[in-house]
Amino acid sequence: MPADAKPIASVWTRPHHPQREQLTREQIVATAIKLLDSDGVEALSMRKLGARLGAGATSLYRHVANRDELVQLAVDDVYGELDLPASAERTQWRTTVARTAAEVRAMVLRHPWIAPELGQVGLIHIGPNATRMTAELLTQFEAAGFPADEKHEAAATLMSYVIGIATTEAAYVSLIARSGSTERAWVADHSPDFDQDADPRQLRENRFGYGLDRILDGLAARLEPGSDRAARWHGDEG
Amino acid sequence: MPADAKPIASVWTRPHHPQREQLTREQIVATAIKLLDSDGVEALSMRKLGARLGAGATSLYRHVANRDELVQLAVDDVYGELDLPASAERTQWRTTVARTAAEVRAMVLRHPWIAPELGQVGLIHIGPNATRMTAELLTQFEAAGFPADEKHEAAATLMSYVIGIATTEAAYVSLIARSGSTERAWVADHSPDFDQDADPRQLRENRFGYGLDRILDGLAARLEPGSDRAARWHGDEG
DNA sequence: CCGTTATGCGTACAGTGTGCGCATCGAGAG
DNA sequence: CTCTCGATGCGCACACTGTACGCATAACGG
């Protein structure tokens, strides 16, 4: 096939679009997340991201308004990873809500750079994926039996706890990762009285579970028939 | 007095220490906090801070290793503002702990830039003032009757909630402040179905109190004599 | 009087986000 | 086919950042 194969070969030797690699917003956000995961938030620069995509720095501005918006998009993309349970019936609300909390915590631990970002942007102008998660949690609390005007407070209580503890954990593990050590070795080094046989990852997990159980206990007490749930909570709080 | 007055006049025309204003670390940190409070964290630059102190940018490096360390010092300085209650006896642990939580929340709301910083540095390498606050909270829980191996988990539960909700609130209020509006006007603009007579600040306060009460309820249940408190929690948690 | 030490500061360098204008492409009109 | 046009990539430039380095000067101890 000396002559006939030429058109087929030329498809590979000379690509159809010499320098028009068709940079898309999805790809930009995806590789930005990869860069954020591996190198942290201060290592993300437009030039570096462009280079990783085989493009110039300012090319990205055709698809993204500025660096801040890019990070916002990355945050919401990460929210899209959540595998949220469907809101179950009243008897199983605890496990459903606990599973949602664990999902959010795991998300933050997978992408530790997201924690300071949540504190910077808050929950105001976040994207559709984060909104979906909030809505899902609200229906879970609704299914649990919380009245319409209290479910927001219940959800905020749980989410504040999850964001707070996951933020602390994320800062901790990313500090250790940046130091090039493992969690176990780091703990053994920095607190010599630590039990060598204990797994610090498991301890973190247990600590998360402890607080979660306390909070769900406190919330569940509002649902018990004997409690003064009928009294709207707005009036009697400081 | 044409010739004799010259030394006296020269005191004012030419000061004794032409350029030696004796920059101290405390002053640097203090004005850094002022700048952070008024203009936010991304507006703090060494040159701007130096200018506000009547000094060059690189002069600051004689007293502070780098910008990150400066922010760390500012964070711990802010922790020093806390007016923590003394740990009271067993019957009043709830009000004592609640007061500590409210103090921390107020601190974050006074200095909203601190929120992302807490997520970046975690609670690891924080300074003496933050350490003092953690220790104080631990003794408060100890006085409440929590066993030695559970008080850390109880304190972490409470603090995670406080940090999480205060972080969210801080992002929210600083976003509004940056937009140049007031909280009431902003809420009225962005959600027209909001009750015009309600005070959004008060609503935030109530929401904080709601979650705080739920969490303290859940923790208090661990202290009731009927509960299975004797069983150490480490084993039976997921 | 002369070192020594501590401190401020000017300069410089590498790196950042991003506005602007030019070059080049794919596609559609004639 | 040619010609135009909108979309896209990109080089350049500007203002700005943190900070390493070396020099100048002031206070101090002899």
Q: Which residue of A has its CA nearest to B168?
A: A122
For chain B, give the DSSP string: --STTHHHHHHHHS-SSTT-----HHHHHHHHHHHHHHH-GGG--HHHHHHHTTS-GGGGGGT-S-HHHHHHHHHHHHHTT--PPPP--GGGHHHHHHHHHHHHHHHHHHSTTHHHHHHHHTTTS--HHHHHHHHHHHHHHHHHT--TTTHHHHHHHHHHHHHHHHHHHHHHHHHHHHTT--HHHHHHHH-TTS-TTS-HHHHHHHHHHHHHHHHHHHHHHTTSTTS-TTS-HHHH--
For chain A, positions 97-116, list CB contacts with chain B under 8 A: 115-116
Q: Do A210 and B221 touch (CB under 8 A)?
A: no
Helix, strand, coil % in chain A, rounded to nearest 5: 70, 0, 30
**Residue B3 confidence (pLDDT) above 60:** no
Among A34, A209, A119, smallest CA distance to B166 is for: A119
- Residue B165 sits at the chain A interface (C-beta within 8 Å): yes
The pLDDT confidence band at residue B121, using thresholds 50, 70 and 90, is: low
CA distance B82 to B100: 8
Tell me if chain B has a CB within 8 Å of the CB of A211: yes
Nearest to B163 among A120, A123, A167 (CB): A167
The answer to whether the CB of B144 falls within 8 A of the CB of B90 is yes
* Count of residues making up chain A: 238
Mark yes or no for CB contact B161/A159 under 8 Å: no
pLDDT band, residue B16 (cuts 50/70/90): very low
The full set of domains in chain B, from first to last, is 11-64 (1.10.10.60), 82-236 (1.10.357.10)
Residue B114 has phi, psi (to 5 degrees) of -75, -25
**B163 and A CB contact within 8 Å:** yes
Q: Count the neighbouring beta carbons within 10 Å of the beta carbon of residue A34.
A: 13
CA distance B232 to B45: 50
From first to last of the 238 residues of chain A, give the pLDDT tens digit: 443 333 333 333 333 344 456 789 999 999 999 999 999 999 999 999 999 999 999 999 999 999 999 999 999 999 999 999 987 778 899 999 999 999 999 999 999 999 999 877 665 567 899 999 999 999 999 999 999 999 999 999 999 999 999 999 999 998 888 888 999 998 888 887 888 888 999 999 999 999 999 999 999 999 987 665 545 665 444 3
| Beta carbons of B164 and A164 less than 8 angstroms apart | yes
Is B211 in contact with A157 (Cβ distance < 8 A)?
Answer: yes
